[in-house]
């Protein structure tokens, strides 16, 4: 069963490589932020798998902290980095 967990960690590392390509190519800041969110999610999954394999329950807490930091990064991006419409301008959803 531990071999399966290590294979899953390898697949998740491949996911990080694909996310790195998205960060480098963009084209928008939102695409890059989603790729960074992917990094956070994959990191949590890898830490949880390694916690099971190594039988170290303290890593569950570490994974929880990474998940919370990842969520806070998205909130910070949306509140600070997302462009606000000018006053009086309404986005009606048409493009």
In tens, the pLDDT along 12-64 reads 999 999 889 888 887 888 888 888 889 989 999 999 998 998 999 999 999 99
Tell me what pLDDT residue 35 has.
Answer: 87
> Would you tell me how many other CB atoms lie within 10 Å of the CB of residue 22?
15
pLDDT level of residue 90 (50, 70, 90 thresholds): low
Residue 74 reports pLDDT greater than 90: no
Half-sphere exposure of 54 (CA within 13 A, CB side): 11
pTM for this predicted structure: 0.75
CA distance 31 to 12: 19
CB 37 within 8 A of CB 76: no
Tell me what pLDDT residue 95 has.
Answer: 54
């Amino acid at each position: 069963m531990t071999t399966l967990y290590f294979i899953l960690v390898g697949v998740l590392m491949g996911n990080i490589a694909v996310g790195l390509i998205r960060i480098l190519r963009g084209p928008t800041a939102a695409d890059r932020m989603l790729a960074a969110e992917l990094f956070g999610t994959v990191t949590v999954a890898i830490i949880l798998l390694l916690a099971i394999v190594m039988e170290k329950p303290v890593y569950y807490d570490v994974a929880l902290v990474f998940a919370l930091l990842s969520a806070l990064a998205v909130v910070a991006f949306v509140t600070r980095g997302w462009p606000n419409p000018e006053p009086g301008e309404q986005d009606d959803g048409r493009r």
